[in-house]
């Protein structure tokens, strides 16, 4: 049987000199005895997978609101696709695959119901704003629990990768950089796939230059993007696409924002208004009725106030739970 010390020794002997080794972690916020047979990053991965927040991702919108069909991505399938892309890159570059997997599986735990529409609403109405990457860190630090204490008590490296998977700040580890580029590779490609399946886009609609560079087929595009990341990062301390490929990936991303993410073909104006109204109404209700919040949020109410607890509670909801709670509180006997 392989024990933790042997796994850590293998990492030291076999991983790239640029890889983050579990035995060299910057540690946890609260010191705890190590596991006998798992490294610290494997342990973090397991805590994330077994969390309630991770399970809720299966019922949270990725792009399409209440899609009619079983094959559209949810926030959970997005997370799994990010993990797959990231693990492929990490394995090829001989980086720490366990750390990459933990970051990837935890990176979107703080996403709101109804996708980025929910995030936008909370950002507008909650004092101080709302960003899902910061909320993901908050989930693992405060909102989930471990052994009766708030937070999962994850390692610095996993927490850093989660909060810096998007935005302008760079992750502190190459594994965090792997997840950051993998997130973009995954969502752009699977959202193209879903948009074509739904009829919102056709292959002919996609911008010519990025498609010429990356390919026409879903798998071909992902493969070419991953290949460029690997070839451009091999033997280097940082992980990234080269400038030419990154420029075309950005062109593709901008196209998706114009034609999919903000398109009325994907999200009807009436549906967007409904989700915005639901999020706003639930936040206002729980902020003014903190006694209705879950009892395990008492420490948030005491330390940060009911507004913070209301924001945390609403952000953690699945799409269908948000709709059910809205109906129970505002239309308990139904509309008709």
How far CA 299 is from CA of 180, 275, 287, 292, 311, in Å, comes to 32, 28, 15, 14, 14
Per-residue model confidence (pLDDT) at position 218? 94
Integer Cα distance of 50 and 274 in angstroms: 32
Domain boundaries, the chain: 38-117+129-265
Per-residue model confidence (pLDDT) at position 62? 76
pLDDT profile of the chain (336 residues), mean per 10 = 93 98 97 96 98 95 59 87 98 98 98 91 95 98 92 98 95 98 97 89 95 96 98 98 98 93 69 88 97 94 97 96 91 58
What residues have CB less than 8 Å from 284, skipping those under 6 apart? 125, 310
- Distance from the first to the final alpha carbon of the chain: 63
Say which DSSP state 305 is in.
-
Q: What is the dihedral of CA 274, 276, 278, 283, to 10 degrees?
A: -170
Integer Cα distance of 216 and 162 in angstroms: 31
Per-residue model confidence (pLDDT) at position 336? 41
> Whole-model pTM?
0.94
- Residue pair 189/221 in contact by the 8 Å Cβ criterion: yes
The 10 Å CB-count burial string (b at 16+, else e) for 200-217 is: bbeeeebeeebbebbeee
CA atoms within 13 A on the CB side of 89: 39
Fold that domain 38-117+129-265 belongs to in CATH: Hypothetical protein af1432 (1.10.3210)
In DSSP notation, 116-147 reads HHHHHHHHHHSTT---HHHHHHHIIIIISEET
Instruction: Report which of 134, 124, 103 is spatially closest to residue 41, judged by C-alpha positions.
Output: 103
Say which DSSP state 150 is in.
E
């Amino acid at each position: 049987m392989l024990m933790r010390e042997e796994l850590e020794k293998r990492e030291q002997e076999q991983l790239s000199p640029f890889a983050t080794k579990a035995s060299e972690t910057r540690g946890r916020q609260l010191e705890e005895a190590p596991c006998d047979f798992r490294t610290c990053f494997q342990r973090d991965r397991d805590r994330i997978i077994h969390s309630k927040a991770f399970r809720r991702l299966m019922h949270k919108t990725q792009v399409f609101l209440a899609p009619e069909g079983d094959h559209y991505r949810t926030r959970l399938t997005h997370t799994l696709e990010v993990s797959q892309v990231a693990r492929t890159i990490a394995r090829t570059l001989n980086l720490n695959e366990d750390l990459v997997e933990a970051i990837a599986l935890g990176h979107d735990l703080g996403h709101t119901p109804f996708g980025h529409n929910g995030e936008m609403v909370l950002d507008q109405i909650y004092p101080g704003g709302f960003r899902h990457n910061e909320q993901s860190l908050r989930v693992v630090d405060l909102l989930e629990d471990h052994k009766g204490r708030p937070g999962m008590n994850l390692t610095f490296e996993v927490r850093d990768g989660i909060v810096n998977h998007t935005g302008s700040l760079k992750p502190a580890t190459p594994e965090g950089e792997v997840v950051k580029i993998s997130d973009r590779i995954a969502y752009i490609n699977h959202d193209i796939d879903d948009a074509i399946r739904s009829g919102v886009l056709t292959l002919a609609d996609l911008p010519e230059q990025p498609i010429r560079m990356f390919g026409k087929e879903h798998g071909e595009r992902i493969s070419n993007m991953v290949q460029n990341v690997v070839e451009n990062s091999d033997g280097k301390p940082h992980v990234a696409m080269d400038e030419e490929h990154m420029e075309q990936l950005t062109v593709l991303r901008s196209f998706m924002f114009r034609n999919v993410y903000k398109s009325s073909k994907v999200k009807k104006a009436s549906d967007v208004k409904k989700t915005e109204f639901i999020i706003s109404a639930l936040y206002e209700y729980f902020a003014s009725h903190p006694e209705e919040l879950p009892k395990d949020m008492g420490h948030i109410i005491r330390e940060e106030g009911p507004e913070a607890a209301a924001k945390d509670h609403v952000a953690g909801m699945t799409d269908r739970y948000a709709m059910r709670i809205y109906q129970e509180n505002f239309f308990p006997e139904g509309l008709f």
